[in-house]
Structure 1
Amino acid sequence: MKVSHYFEFEEHVTGGMAASVDHQRKMFDLAGIEYTTEPTLDADVLHLNLMGPRSVWYARRARKAGIPVVAHTHVTAEDFGDSFRFTNALARPLKPYLRRAYGLADRLVCPSEYNRDVIRGYTDVPTTVVSNGVDREKLDGFESLEGEYRERYDLDPPTVFMVGHVIKRKGLETFVETAHRMPDVDFAWFGHVDRSLKGRETKRLIDEAPSNCTFTGFVDDIRGAYAAGDVFCFPTHEENEGIALLEAMAAGKPLVVRDIETFSWLEAGEECLKVDSEGGGDGAASAGVTDAPGDNVEGFVDAIDELRDADRRAELGATAAARSEAFALDAIADRYRSLYAELL
């Protein structure tokens, strides 16, 4: 079995999608699946990760040649908005384009049940859910970097942190406003801050963040983020799955997340603390103060207050780490072999 595993615009795309593709290829190695990263019809299966124009062209050729086409549904119009400059304007025409593009596949791979539910509004192509997974080896030895990264960014425990591109959709406004409300707590967002790609509102939020809220920009060793951070705060409004969340779990960090459908698989109070966007969370004593539409900042403040207690952090972190084992790459890898075998 040979797979043409193509990632269009690979040299330009970073973040979660790039990490997912890297994880897929590591899983292929674990499962003994032969693959090429070039788009070619000299393969048993054509697996496309980003349905750009070249991928669509190859998908059409593959269908004519009788070669099964698999497409990953990393991109949805719902996930595209509030990301970078112009993405809101592009989100509306993106949906009909993706309907046609995803419709060319024989099978769609969705990273989560939530993503599959969204995709069912696009096309009736059969779907298979395969998590993006977490590369536990990438985190090996992260604890040894704690002192270095705390000193580098002047962070005192318990540090509230986030990992990923600094974009509004991921809850930037909530993160910054929560930092405003908690001046005695250090907040750190580890990830790219490319101002040329940011909208006016995103740049304003970054510029007006309080002194206890640090935007580190790109970090040379992402293990340092998980070493320096104590509470992973993920107030995202829309997410297909969230690789950074899985990494935080694998690192044994307690989670504070927005109570959205994407995270319905996490048990509130046991594996994370969830904050209801409209107030009245799950035990984090949300007061329901709304500073922006859908932002229950007071709920995040209360949840983080609960995690000032080191024992509570350790308890939630240990449960999250145990749950993350099911997302390890070696636990998922055979799903791709089964999927390809089924199509063939």
Structure 2
Amino acid sequence: MLVSHYFELAEHVTGGISESVAHQRKMLDRLDVSYTTRQTLDADVMHFNLMGPRSVWYAKRARSKGIPVVANTHVTAEDFGDSFRFTNALAKPLKPYLRWAYGHADALVCPSEYNRGLIEGYADVPTTVVSNGVDTEKLEGFESLEDEYRERYDLSEPTVFLVGHVIKRKGLETFVELARTRPDVDFAWFGPLDLSLKGRETTALIENAPENCTFTGFVDDIRGAFAAGDVFCFPTHEENEGIALLEAMAAGKPVVVRDIETFSWLEDGEDCLKVSPEPGGSDVEAFAAALDELADAGRRRTLGSAAADRAEAFSLDAVAGRYRDLYDEVIAE
């Protein structure tokens, strides 16, 4: 079997999509599935990770020749807004484009049940849920970086942290205001700032954040984030899955998440704390209450240990076989 595993705009797209592609290729290596990163009609399966115009063009050609087409549904109109400058304006026309683009696949790979629910309203194409997975090898030895990264960013235990691109959709305003209500606690957001790509509101939130709220920008070794951080706080409003969340759990960090459908698989009080503001209440107050519960080191250890156990089901080894099964299925059909 040869898979054409193509990632359009690979040199420009970073963050979760890029991580997912890297994970997929690691899984294919472990499965001993032959693949090329080029678009080629000599493959048994064409697998696209971003359905841009070039991918759609090849998908059309592949299907005309009887080559099955698989596509990942990393992008939805729902999670495109409140990301970078102009994305809100583009989110509306993006949906009909994605309906058209995803309709050129024989099978769609969704990272979560929530994402699948959205995608089933986009295209009449069979869907399969396959997690983006978590690469535990990438995290190995993160504990050894604790002192270095705490000193580098002047962080003290317990540090509340987040990992990923700094964008409004991921709960930026809540994160900043949480830091403002807890001036004796350090907050750190590890990830690219890209201020030139941000809107004025996002830029203002970052520039006017309190002193105890650090935006590190790009970090050369992401293990340092999981070494220096103690409580992973993820107030995102919309997410297809959340690789950084899985990484934090695999690292044994207690996680606090907004109670949204994406995270329905998590058990509140068991492997995470879920935050849902009371009607008319403030989400900042609700998140602050959850963080106060985790001021106790013993509670952090218990919740973090349960999170690590739950994350094992998302390891690359646990997920990989689903891709082989999917390829076999589309080829047989």
TM-score w.r.t. length of structure 1 = 0.95
DSSP 3-state at the match of 2:46: strand
Partner of residue 279, structure 1:
278
What does the per-residue CA deviation read over 1:292-339, in whole Å, with 9 as the maximum and x for residues that have no partner? xxxx11000000000000000000000000000010001111111110
Partner of residue 289, structure 1:
281
Matches within 5 A, 1:134-283: 134-276=134-276, 278-279=277-278
Identity of aligned residues (%): 77
The answer to whether structure 1 residue 127 and structure 2 residue 127 are counterparts is yes
The answer to whether structure 1 residue 116 and structure 2 residue 108 are counterparts is no
> What amino acid does structure 1 have at the position aligned with 2:210?
P
> What amino acid does structure 1 have at the position aligned with 2:186?
D
> What amino acid does structure 2 have at the position aligned with 1:258?
R
In structure 1, C-alpha distance between the alignment counterparts of 2:175 and 2:319, rounded to whole Å: 32
In structure 2, C-alpha distance between the alignment counterparts of 1:234 and 1:54, rounded to whole Å: 34
In structure 2, C-alpha distance between the alignment counterparts of 1:196 and 1:208, rounded to whole Å: 16
Partner of residue 313, structure 1:
300
In structure 2, C-alpha distance between the alignment counterparts of 1:308 and 1:178, rounded to whole Å: 14
Question: Given the alignment, which residue of 323, 331, 337 partners 2:318?
Answer: 331
The answer to whether structure 1 residue 301 and structure 2 residue 288 are counterparts is yes
Q: How far apart are residue 124 of structure 1 and its match?
A: 1.5
> What amino acid does structure 1 have at the position aligned with 2:142?
F
In structure 1, C-alpha distance between the alignment counterparts of 2:155 and 2:79, rounded to whole Å: 31
What does the per-residue CA deviation read over 1:230-261, in whole Å, with 9 as the maximum and x for residues that have no partner? 00000000000000000000000000000000
> What amino acid does structure 2 have at the position aligned with 1:289?
G
Gaps of 5+ in 1: 281-287, 291-295
DSSP 3-state at the match of 2:270: coil
* Structure 1 moving runs of 4+ over 3 Å: none
Partner of residue 40, structure 2:
40
> What amino acid does structure 2 have at the position aligned with 1:75?
V
In structure 2, C-alpha distance between the alignment counterparts of 1:238 and 1:158, rounded to whole Å: 26
Equivalenced residue count is 331
> What amino acid does structure 1 have at the position aligned with 2:293?
E
What does the per-residue CA deviation read over 1:5-55, in whole Å, with 9 as the maximum and x for residues that have no partner? 000000111000000000000000011110000011110000000010100
In structure 1, C-alpha distance between the alignment counterparts of 2:318 and 2:195, rounded to whole Å: 38
DSSP 3-state at the match of 2:220: coil
In structure 1, C-alpha distance between the alignment counterparts of 2:114 and 2:31, rounded to whole Å: 26
Q: How far apart are residue 289 of structure 1 and its match?
A: 3.1
RMSD: 0.7
Q: How far apart are residue 96 of structure 1 and its match?
A: 0.1
